[in-house]
A and B are shown apart, each in its own frame.
Chain A
Amino acid sequence: MRRLDALQAIYGELEHSVVVTIMGAVAAELQSIGHRPNFFYLQHAMGLASSVGLGIALARPELPVVVFDGDGSLLMNLGGLTTLARYRPRNLVHVVFDNESLLSVGGFPTATSTGSDLAAIAGAAGVPLTGTVRTLEEFTATFAAAQKAGDLTTLVAKVEAVGPSGYVTDLSLLENRYQFARYLKERQAAGQ
């Protein structure tokens, strides 16, 4: 499964979700499909995308929050999984694209390439719903189920270690940040 195809397959489902992604390929690929004001790309601070998602989910429990994480990022903040599980935001779906490598800095293998199992780690941390998927069909079905489950889910999607040719996009970091905050404010004002 390619990450780009996985994102494409669920893109329609993200219209009303609040989406936080990590840097690099995930951010560039989601933007290549189509940026929306409800998407925030954390372009650095590896590991903190799930923490940002937790902050939003706790502050606004009525909003469906989706975090697109990666194996390299999550490995930098494994303790964050225990915090996620501890507060168990039922409105948060945590997707981890696991390509078993640090693709954007030369493709060096991460520990998931030698057997570290992020779904098992999430489960052992206390995340109530976890799973690992390897095909597009499985991913699409499991993501849809997670969105309907009404409980914290960590879904690990094994993907190929391929990505875009570059990572810098036309969307400036601060433009994205202020647009995203405004989106959340307007949605609150509209009572949605």
Chain B
Amino acid sequence: MPVSATSSTLIYRGLKDSGVGIISALPETWLVHLIRMAEEDEEMTLVRLAKEEEGVGVSTGAHFAGVKSAMLMQNHGFLAAINGIVSCGQLYRIPLLMLISQRGSFGERDPWQCEGGGVTEHVLEALRIPFDHLDAPGHVEKRIAKAQTLAYAASRPVALLLCRDLMWED
């Protein structure tokens, strides 16, 4: 599978180094290695969701209970989770780290991914969610740490977009 195992390992290390203890996730192709790493890590609690919005609730509960968490999802899952992000994550000022695979960008071969790819960043902007891109291995760990720092300082949801150049090896 051309999903980058090397980049996935860097991302997972970034999450661990920033103190993440609970990961909630809904599988998608680009996330397979990350989910498997979480599954095999005895120190990590992996919550497999039925729908992404649940993950906002799980992360909220985890935060109240003093555990750092992260959500792994596709951009279409992010779009499916918006009311939870707004009416739980933002309303209650939850430091929520969302890692969102940015499907539907240049290079996308699956026609069904393309519509969501074009709106994801606009929706993040409309929601005033601070976000950055993970698109090269060199900055992965630093950007995850910085995202987590801002999430806690601002006490708000933040997002990192996992981009094709990082996640996919053609």
Contact = CB atoms under 8 A, between A and B. Distances in A.
Task: Indicate whether A and B interact.
Answer: yes
A110 interface: no
B124 interface: no
Contacts of A47: 53
B91 A79 contact: no
A58 B66 contact: no
B88 A42 contact: yes
Given A44-B91, A45-B84, A52 B61 contact: yes
A174 B65 CA distance: 16
A120 B66 CA distance: 34
A55 B91 CA distance: 18
A135 interface: no
Interface string B74-99: 00000000011001100111000000
A48 B91 contact: no
Given A51-B56, A51-B57, A54-B58, A181 B87 contact: no
Nearest to B60: A52
B10 interface: no
B57 A59 contact: no
Given A48-B56, A188-B66, A173 B92 contact: yes
Contacts of B21: 59
A54 B67 CA distance: 13
A95 interface: no
Interface stretch (A82-90, A146-154, A155-163): A82-90
A174 B93 contact: yes
